Amino acid sequence: MTAEQAAKAAASGALVQNNLIYVPLTASAGALGWKVLQVYPLSATLQSGTTVAAVPLAVLGGQPFVSLGALSALPGTTTRLLPGGAGVQLTRNQQNTTLPIKVAQLIPFTAPPEFAAPLNP
């Protein structure tokens, strides 16, 4: 699987939990050039070249997922939202990887009501 195919697979499996966007671990790691060495109940160990890093996991639907924030914190990785909602771009070792995730659709930017609704209208 190419990095682009892995990025599309990761984006298509994106889920939201507690207002965080999670993507499947194996596809997202592969898209960024990381190999999954070991998966534990709450974390995974990744390797790229001689660099080893740990990421926290969430198990959703019985599968390991990693948050976009955790991917952003991997060594040498930067993240930015693309204009027009085209996705999220992660850059590592001067290699750009775009996850075509529609952030605004997954996490709508709506303000909470200023006052709670009355209990007995």
pLDDT in tens, 5-38: 999 999 999 999 988 999 999 999 999 999 999 9
pTM of the predicted protein model: 0.84
Average pLDDT, the chain: 90
- Report the alpha-carbon distance of residue 46 to residue 49 in Å, rounded: 10
Question: CB of 71 within 8 A of CB of 79?
Answer: yes
Domain boundaries, the chain: 3-106
The neighbouring-strand residues paired with 51 are 48
